[in-house]
Amino acid sequence: MKLFLDSSKVDEAKRWMPVIDGATTNPTILKKDGSDIYEFCKMMDPKPVSVEACGDFITEARQYAKDIPNAIIKIPLLKPYGGDNLQIIKELAEEHISINCTALFNLSQVILAAKAGARYCSLFIGRIDDEGVDYKLAIEDCVRVIDLMYRTNTTSELIVGSVRSVGQFLDAVRAGSHIVTVPPSVLEKLVEHKFSRATVQMFEEDSQSLKQVVGSA
Prior bond of 46 cis (ω within 30°): yes
Please report the pLDDT score of residue 149 as a whole number: 84
Mean pLDDT by 10 residues, the chain (217 residues): 97 98 96 96 98 96 98 97 97 97 97 96 97 97 91 83 98 98 97 95 91 70
Contacts 24+ apart (CB under 8 A), 201-209: none
Please report the pLDDT score of residue 103 as a whole number: 97
Please report the pLDDT score of residue 33 as a whole number: 95
Q: How big is the chain by its Cα radius of gyration, in Å?
A: 21
- Angle, alpha carbons 177-18-140 (nearest 5°): 5
Class of domain 2-186: alpha beta
Please report the pLDDT score of residue 174 as a whole number: 98
Residue by residue, DSSP assigns 3-42 as EEEE---HHHHHHHTTT-SEEE--HHHHHHHT--HHHHHH
On the CB side of 138, CA atoms within 13 Å amount to 25
* Coil, helix or strand at residue 104: strand
Please report the pLDDT score of residue 215 as a whole number: 67
Where exactly are the structural domains of the chain? 2-186
Active site residues: 74
* Coil, helix or strand at residue 145: helix
Please report the pLDDT score of residue 211 as a whole number: 80
Please report the pLDDT score of residue 217 as a whole number: 59
Is 169 buried (19+), middle (13-18) or exposed (0-12) by CB count in 10 A?
buried
